[in-house]
Structure 1
Amino acid sequence: MDWTRGHIIGHGASAAVSIAVSCLSGDVFAVKSVELSRYESVQREQKILSGLNSPHIIGYRGFDISVENSAAVFNLMIEHAPDGSLSDAIRRGGGRLPEPAIRRYTQGITKGLDYLHSRGIVHCDIKGSNVLLVGGAAKIADFGCAKARTESAIGGTPLFMAPEAARGEEQGFAADVWALGCTVIEMAAGRAPWPNAPETLRRIAFSGKAPEFPASLSEIGKDFLSKCLRVDPRERWTAEELLRHPFLGDIREEKLAGDSDSPTSILDRGIWSSVEESSHDSTEMNFAEFYELCKNSRSEEWDWTERWMTIRDGESVDFGSESRFQCEEQSFFLLS
């Protein structure tokens, strides 16, 4: 390797993310590593990231295969995000963010979505923990659930899913816009858009209602949410249209509450403590819980396929003789 691995800054179901330094240039970047025997989802992410180039998408830095502790390891190299994730910024901001910060971060995410959609890519898992902050700029990251618009697989985090995706019908560009609205709620309220309760999945899929708008948001902010969170996906504004909404106009670039100073050294672990904690966010259902909700919430007209797989390799769990599932901490794929 022409780079040196530093300390671990985050964990997934099978991958670990570490700080790394180039031995040639001294540049600092992040490395997502997984054993080569179960690297398919990270390789998928690598293929998508390698074709993207936008200031609103986390930067791709390459990949390689190394041998560590007698095991072959697939390493995906990405841009270093010293400020952690948007979820970390919410915690640093005391559990919610002020509206100027919400507007600025929302603008960055929306520009990133507009770029992805223009290239035919659906992210499928927009939420605070999948948006990284670099110099105060919001950048979309974690493409483990991403797909081409023409692919039929459905994936993501249940509490941020659009109704049509929760019903297993489709997951297109409009589903990303719904998740964007849910992320605005996360920033403004400091919580997931829906309660983590047994009846929530059915409520998302069939109630015909959007999540409650935070009272702290201005009227213009609530109007922005109303454009994102229309139950009928055909009525939602596109990312391109949202960029013209006045909520995203006149964004200033000064340091805002929730931003942090970059660490002076890659050995400065303080900034990363919340990153490691974020992978165990109690507001999100794990995969097994989501499956149970599906079983208990199904209606006669809800025709779901039962062929499921995780987008990251995790621990296998049997739920019966007919179906075999794999647990994954936050996100999943449903194959149609």
Structure 2
Amino acid sequence: MEWTRGRILGRGSTATVYAATCHNSNEILAVKSAELHRSEFLQREATIISSLNSPYVIGYRGSETKTESNGVVTHNLLMEYAPYGKLTDAAAKNGGRLDEAQVVKYTRQILRGLEYIHSKGIAHCDVKGSNVVVADKGVAKIADFGCAKRVDPEVESPVMGTPAFMAPEVARGEKQGKESDIWAVGCTVIEMATGSPPWTEANMREDPVSVLYRVGYSGETPELPRLLTKEAKDFLEKCLKREANERWTATQLLNHPFLVTKPDIEPVLVSGWVSCSPTSVTDQTFWRSVEEEEEETEELQEDSRDLDRLKLWACYSEKIGRLRCVGVLDGPRWDMEGGDWIMVRVSCEGTMISGSMSKNVLGNI
């Protein structure tokens, strides 16, 4: 396939993603490139996604090795182009968080992708908002399979991923599989709802090793956002079981009331990002803006004799008070894309933990 490289879409520790144009069809592609001598993870990623075909997984268009005009030999993975960027980009352009209708829609699509991937005996191993892209028609698709692997209990393989999204068994370096992806789905829902991953309190923002220790050994689970609905909290509890075998599967989660009682919404694509039109005036959301609350209050004051509307006003006033108490998690996102892994051993209060970490992460310690 003949193509021309365009602007940079993103960079990782070992590879760079570009927009590209196919000469024959003028189709826009995403091309992930790495120098040949550093392309082990990229070649493995190409092998995995070339075997997948799902509307909720980024599409494979080919792979090749070529000599660039500057003489550098690169390996290139050609993929479907997602015009609306990463899920985290969509959230950032929507005020940093997504409302409940959007979270439900994207969570449902992520789980459909995982259900398919898991049926093929593959674990993604790095599910998070920045590894989910928003493609045509606002469909969320799982991307970046640099850490993915075929699940084989007979074969030992190093654990990889992003500390804040790692399941306890992964943080301890014990195992990594389909169940670990489900834990990461729970973390991704928290990320969509709050704008930041879990485990990013002020005293842990600069220390991914502390995150690994807390996830692996503290016995805790991530704090759930206070304003989640009861159904949403129950859904997260099914994802965030510390015992891997107690977590629900992707198929079971797709049948959870949090997802099945709400229809898909049609996104409105505006200026390269995704927003959503409300389907009714009673749509629940994780958060309502102050402006919306003020409008509701003004309407209620026009007819204070309407008891039902007064009750609604009281409910919303309570939400505002609770909102003021909610702290926004705004810590960094640690990216462990899959390159330059080294062994790390850390002693924490007499307990030795071991695991593989990327050098680009260790630079933050």
Instruction: Give the shorter-chain TM-score range.
Output: 0.7 to 0.9
Partner of 1:114: 115
Q: CA RMSD in A?
A: 2.4
Looking at structure 2, the residues matched to 8 and 85 of structure 1 have their Cα atoms a distance apart, in angstroms, of 14
Name which of 142, 145, 162 aligns with 1:143.
145
Looking at structure 2, the residues matched to 93 and 42 of structure 1 have their Cα atoms a distance apart, in angstroms, of 32
1:84, CA displacement in angstroms?
0.4
Q: Secondary structure at the match of 1:145?
A: coil
Partner of 2:227: 216
Partner of 2:360: 328
1:8 has 2:8 as partner: yes
1:216, CA displacement in angstroms?
2.3
Looking at structure 2, the residues matched to 164 and 260 of structure 1 have their Cα atoms a distance apart, in angstroms, of 41
Partner of 2:317: none
Name which of 270, 289, 297 aligns with 2:348.
297
Partner of 1:232: 243
Looking at structure 1, the residues matched to 345 and 198 of structure 2 have their Cα atoms a distance apart, in angstroms, of 19
Partner of 1:82: 83
Looking at structure 2, the residues matched to 143 and 291 of structure 1 have their Cα atoms a distance apart, in angstroms, of 20
- Letter of the aligned partner of 2:66 in structure 1? S
1:309, CA displacement in angstroms?
7.0
Q: Secondary structure at the match of 1:241?
A: helix
Looking at structure 1, the residues matched to 257 and 272 of structure 2 have their Cα atoms a distance apart, in angstroms, of 31
Tell me if structure 2 keeps the 8 A contact 1:202–1:298.
no
Looking at structure 2, the residues matched to 103 and 171 of structure 1 have their Cα atoms a distance apart, in angstroms, of 26
1:201-280 alignment runs, 5 A limit: 201-249=212-260, 250-255=262-267, 260-262=270-272
Q: Secondary structure at the match of 1:156?
A: coil
- Normalising by structure 1, we get a TM-score of 0.80
Partner of 2:64: 64
Tell me if structure 2 keeps the 8 A contact 1:201–1:293.
no
Over residues 160-206 of structure 1, what are the superposed CA-to-partner deviations in whole Å (9 max), with x where a residue is unaligned?
Answer: 00001111111111100000000000001111111234433221111
Looking at structure 2, the residues matched to 298 and 22 of structure 1 have their Cα atoms a distance apart, in angstroms, of 56
Judging changes above 3 Å, is the alpha-carbon distance between structure 1 residues 299 and 243 closer, same or farther for their aligned structure 2 residues? farther
Partner of 2:106: 105
Partner of 2:185: 180
Task: Answer 1 or 2: higher relative contact order, Cα 8 Å, separation at least 6.
Answer: 1
Partner of 1:271: none
- Letter of the aligned partner of 1:117 in structure 2? H
Judging changes above 3 Å, is the alpha-carbon distance between structure 1 residues 285 and 236 closer, same or farther for their aligned structure 2 residues? same
1:119-134 alignment runs, 5 A limit: 119-134=120-135
- Normalising by structure 2, we get a TM-score of 0.74
Tell me if structure 2 keeps the 8 A contact 1:13–1:329.
no
1:132, CA displacement in angstroms?
0.4
1:155 has 2:163 as partner: no
- Letter of the aligned partner of 1:226 in structure 2? E
Partner of 1:50: 50
Q: Secondary structure at the match of 2:160?
A: strand
Looking at structure 2, the residues matched to 237 and 80 of structure 1 have their Cα atoms a distance apart, in angstroms, of 32
**Is there any run of 5+ residues in structure 2 with no aligned partner, and where?**
274-329
- Letter of the aligned partner of 2:267 in structure 1? K
1:63, CA displacement in angstroms?
1.1
Looking at structure 2, the residues matched to 227 and 211 of structure 1 have their Cα atoms a distance apart, in angstroms, of 13
Deviates further, 212-221 or 291-300 = 291-300
1:152, CA displacement in angstroms?
2.7
Judging changes above 3 Å, is the alpha-carbon distance between structure 1 residues 167 and 48 closer, same or farther for their aligned structure 2 residues? same
Partner of 2:293: none
1:285, CA displacement in angstroms?
3.7
Looking at structure 2, the residues matched to 115 and 299 of structure 1 have their Cα atoms a distance apart, in angstroms, of 42
Looking at structure 2, the residues matched to 42 and 260 of structure 1 have their Cα atoms a distance apart, in angstroms, of 33
Looking at structure 2, the residues matched to 292 and 2 of structure 1 have their Cα atoms a distance apart, in angstroms, of 40
Tell me if structure 2 keeps the 8 A contact 1:83–1:260.
no
Judging changes above 3 Å, is the alpha-carbon distance between structure 1 residues 67 and 123 closer, same or farther for their aligned structure 2 residues? same
Over residues 225-261 of structure 1, what are the superposed CA-to-partner deviations in whole Å (9 max), with x where a residue is unaligned?
Answer: 01000111111101110010011113323116xx545
**Is there any run of 5+ residues in structure 1 with no aligned partner, and where?**
264-280, 311-326, 331-336
Tell me if structure 2 keeps the 8 A contact 1:29–1:78.
yes
Over residues 42-96 of structure 1, what are the superposed CA-to-partner deviations in whole Å (9 max), with x where a residue is unaligned?
Answer: 0000000000000010000101222111111111001101100011011011111
1:291, CA displacement in angstroms?
8.2
- Letter of the aligned partner of 2:348 in structure 1? S
Judging changes above 3 Å, is the alpha-carbon distance between structure 1 residues 18 and 282 closer, same or farther for their aligned structure 2 residues? farther
